[in-house]
Amino acid sequence: MSRLLAFLGGQLAAFFIQVFQMFCYGVQCVTEMRHLYLYRHQIIEQCYAVGVSSLPLVCLISAFSGMAIAIQTAYQMEEYVPDYMVGALMVRSVILVLSPILLGLVLAGRVGAGVASELGTMKVSEQVDALASMAVDPVGYLMLPRMLAGAIMVPILVIYSFLVAILCGFAMSMIKMAITPTELVKGMKLYFEVYDVFVGLVKSVVYGGLLTFMGSYKGLCTAGGAQGVGRAATAAVVISSALVLILDYFLTHALLY
Amino acid sequence: MANETAIEFVEVFKSFEAQPVLKGLDLWVPQSEITTILGPSGCGKSVTLKHVIGIERADMGKVVVAGYDMERIRHSELIALRKRIGVLFQSSALFDSMTVKENVAFGLRMHTRMTEEEIAERVHVCLDAVRLAGTEARMPVELSGGMRKRAALARAIAMEPDFILYDEPTTGLDPNTSSVVGDYILKLQSELNVTSVVVTHDMPLARRVSDRVALLYEGKAVVQGAMEDVEASGNEIFELFVQGRLG
């Protein structure tokens, strides 16, 4: 029993130490913002890595998820609501939930794991120490540009995802369910609210910053060679994905009610 | 007369997760000389170097570098101090996403207002000093182990430092390349008149380049002084280390 308590106490202490460390990294990121000009090239580079490089994947998953949601909405609602409601329901689902969460989860895998393994490799091969020894703050040089790139590019990707998912959903509705474009647009116009887009974008800013922060944090705390890099990447994906889903509840609650 | 003190460790203790590494280390590094820190693997040599650049902080005791107490040093002073220190890491630690030129130019781009032409000129001088001129466009992965060490050395001297720290400069190199690295340590010392600290367990290198040596064992400097004095001291632990029988 005492061993179990000691184990649980140790785990709890380790958890709070990690939370405190994350807080310190966060504070350091904020203080490093005053040197933003110095890191401009890294920010542009990371915007490209997070945003432009993710476009094909985002396009693919948005197209298929848009088509799936169109079929599902029509299947669930066709007997109870007029055709134009399919367009309205589909658009709101895509904007409020589907695109932000789906992209949050997919990019946690693609970007979060990539950042954690890249920085983890730099850590175990002493490149992070080399940066520090050259009077360059590793948090400012490595973490801040990635976080900013996440917070800037993920919302842009989400807007792109809105468009692709809605267009493909409309196309599917017209081809498979024979709903006319006029009906779809009518439904969309009736129930579309700009505030929904704002909610979707706020979520995506938070998820973008979060998954790049978590990837950077896990990468910079890597220890133990190749195995440690693998562990860091896995932890970054798992924690980011879980936090995206948990935060989605709180953000939805806070922004919609 | 001995030179002024450049780096000093006074009763320094350091542990990692309750595992003590330094257990009251006293060490003295004079200015403009080459001091070699010897010792078996895992005795805390690299940790000692990390205290000099402020990457590690002592749990107890005092580390003084260029007059700065590393426990009380302000952030701006630490940044200024690090600009005066060049480090050659054990694994070379070249940034693998950058070319050789970008690696050597990194500090100059981050900390100086030099133009691209001036940076290119300085990079060329540094690479020429380690006989790597012409490799500017190559990526670190395209270089051999010895070339990577030399490129890292070029990066370490690019900012014209007052201190150069060498962490296991010959580890993983063949005897010929090790000898070449030793030549560069002596060459840079004579040309730049810097304070050098070499961490190694390579006795031939230590004999060749050192003005002073210190032997670290079980977290302490068991013997230190001029190379010939230490060799003549008959210190039992030093003798065992030289014979390769120190566990």
pLDDT for A195-243, tens place per residue? 999 999 999 999 999 999 999 999 999 998 899 999 999 999 999 999 9
**Nearest-CA distance B234 → chain A (Å):** 37
**Burial class, B114, CB count within 10 angstroms (exposed 0-12 / middle 13-18 / buried 19+):** middle
Q: Which residue has the higher pLDDT, A183 or A127?
A: A127
> Across residues B156-160, what is the average pLDDT?
92
Coil/strand/helix, residue A92: helix
Using one digit for the tens of pLDDT, what is the confidence trace for B59-100? 999 999 999 999 999 999 999 999 999 999 988 999 999 999
Q: Is the minimum CB–CB distance between B53 and chain A shorter than 8 Å?
A: yes
Q: Is the minimum CB–CB distance between B87 and chain A shorter than 8 Å?
A: yes
Confidence of residue A49 (pLDDT cuts 50, 70, 90): very high
Stretch 174-233 of chain B: residues touching chain A, C-beta under 8 Å: none
> Across residues A238-251, what is the average pLDDT?
95
Using one digit for the tens of pLDDT, what is the confidence trace for A126-138? 999 999 999 999 9
Chain B residues near residue A38 by CB distance under 8 angstroms: 110
Supply the pLDDT for residue B10.
95
Supply the pLDDT for residue B1.
46
Supply the pLDDT for residue B231.
87
3-state helix, strand, coil in chain A (%, to 5): 90, 0, 10
Q: Which of B82, B108, B141 to mutate to test the interface with A (most CBs of A within 10 A)?
A: B82
Give the DSSP letter of residue B38: E
Percent of chain B, pLDDT > 90? 64
Supply the pLDDT for residue A101.
93
**Nearest-CA distance A34 → chain B (Å):** 14
- Where do the domains of chain B lie? 86-160
Q: In this model, does residue B247 exceed pLDDT 70? A: no
> Across residues B100-112, what is the average pLDDT?
95
Compute the C-alpha angle B129/B133/B137, nearest 5°.
135
Confidence of residue B2 (pLDDT cuts 50, 70, 90): low
Cβ–Cβ of B95/A134 closer than 8 Å? no
- Where do the domains of chain A lie? 38-256
Element (H, E) at B7: strand B5-16
Amino acid at A184: L
Q: In this model, does residue A79 exceed pLDDT 80? A: no
Confidence of residue B3 (pLDDT cuts 50, 70, 90): low
Percent of chain B, pLDDT > 70? 98
Considering Cα of A46, then A52, then A58, then A60, what sign does the dihedral take?
negative
Cβ–Cβ of A136/B110 closer than 8 Å? yes
Cβ–Cβ of A134/B107 closer than 8 Å? yes
Using one digit for the tens of pLDDT, what is the confidence trace for B39-49? 888 888 889 99
Q: Write phi, then psi, for B15 (nearest 5 degrees).
A: -125, 155
Cα distance from N-terminal residue to C-terminal residue, chain A: 45
Give the DSSP letter of residue B4: P
Cβ–Cβ of B87/A125 closer than 8 Å? no
**Nearest-CA distance B197 → chain A (Å):** 15
Q: Which of A40, A133, A139 to mutate to test the interface with B (most CBs of B within 10 A)?
A: A133
pTM of the entire predicted model: 0.87
Supply the pLDDT for residue A224.
85
> Across residues A74-88, what is the average pLDDT?
81
What the block records as the tokens of A254 is 């806070």
Q: Which of A24, A121, A129 to mutate to test the interface with B (most CBs of B within 10 A)?
A: A129
Q: Is the minimum CB–CB distance between B50 and chain A shorter than 8 Å?
A: yes
Q: Which residue of A has its CA nearest to B78?
A: A135
Which residues on chain A place their C-beta less than 8 Å from a C-beta of chain B? 38, 122, 125-127, 129-130, 132-136
Chain B residues near residue A127 by CB distance under 8 angstroms: 93-96
CA-to-CA distance for A33 and B206, rounded, in angstroms? 44
Cβ–Cβ of A133/B85 closer than 8 Å? yes
* Residue carrying the six token digits 């395209």: B142
Cβ–Cβ of A132/B55 closer than 8 Å? yes
CA-to-CA distance for A10 and B33, rounded, in angstroms? 47
Q: Which residue of B has its CA nearest to A137?
A: B79
Q: Is the minimum CB–CB distance between B106 and chain A shorter than 8 Å?
A: yes
Cβ–Cβ of B80/A135 closer than 8 Å? yes
Confidence of residue B156 (pLDDT cuts 50, 70, 90): very high
Contacts of A188 (CB under 8 A, 6+ apart): A87, A88, A91
